Amino acid sequence: MNNDPVVLAFCCHYCAYAAADLAGSMRLQYPGTIRALRLPCTGKIEVNYILAAFERGVDGVIVAGCLEGGCHFQEGNLRARRRVERAKELLAEIGVEPERLEMYNLSSAEGTRFAEIAAEMNERIAKLGLSPLRRSAVELESAVQEMDELAQARLAADQRKRAREQAFAALEDDVAYEQAEAQLVGERT
Ligand code: FES
């Protein structure tokens, strides 16, 4: 990692991360400075989480979610945009350029767009230089891993929650079916 810039891309599982994957499958080159982390939805990103990334020394942060109107959690990406704006204000107050943070919206089919966003942010950070809060390469690598583990834990928790909801809905369907069947049998007898 040395003195290369590090840009974290917090990507929602359903669109932006899928677009990043697609960019990889299409063999589209995007800068190695961009480290994509997968979250269930950008709406799960709080202002503190964004600031924590900067506090740990990353040089830039991308928040990438579904297209407006396309969030799988309804308004998660709209909440994320408001939080990104708030985080920018706070960054400016502590002397970190707010341009180091940007939110993008894209669909899962936009692998090319993901590669463009990565290149755009890479260029912007190259112009700004390393973050004034930059840490040593070792500290930074361990911070990136820590944030990745946190993002993965959030995704796993969300997937468990969804599986429970689906199982519960299936159970309700079974009960409704059995009740309807019992009623039908009762009417025939
Ligand atoms: Fe993609 Fe909410 S699920 S931004």
Q: Among 84-88, 99-103, 113-117, 144-148, which stretch is predicted with the lowest mean pLDDT? A: 144-148
Amino acid at 111: G
- What's the pLDDT at 108? 96
Q: CB neighbours (10 Å) of residue 164? A: 10
Whether 114 and 19 have beta carbons less than 8 Å apart is answered as yes
Give the residue extent of every domain in the chain.
7-188
Ligand 1 pocket, Cβ-based, cut-off 6 angstroms: 12, 14-15, 41-43, 65-66, 71-73, 76-77
Mean pLDDT score, 85-97:
97
The class (CATH top level) of 7-188 is: alpha beta
Q: What is the dihedral of CA 125, 91, 50, 41, to 10 degrees?
A: -90
- What's the pLDDT at 59? 97
Residue 16 Cα: closest atom of ligand 1: 1
State yes or no: pLDDT of 1 exceeds 80.
no
Residue 77 Cα: closest atom of ligand 1: 4
> How much is the pTM?
0.85
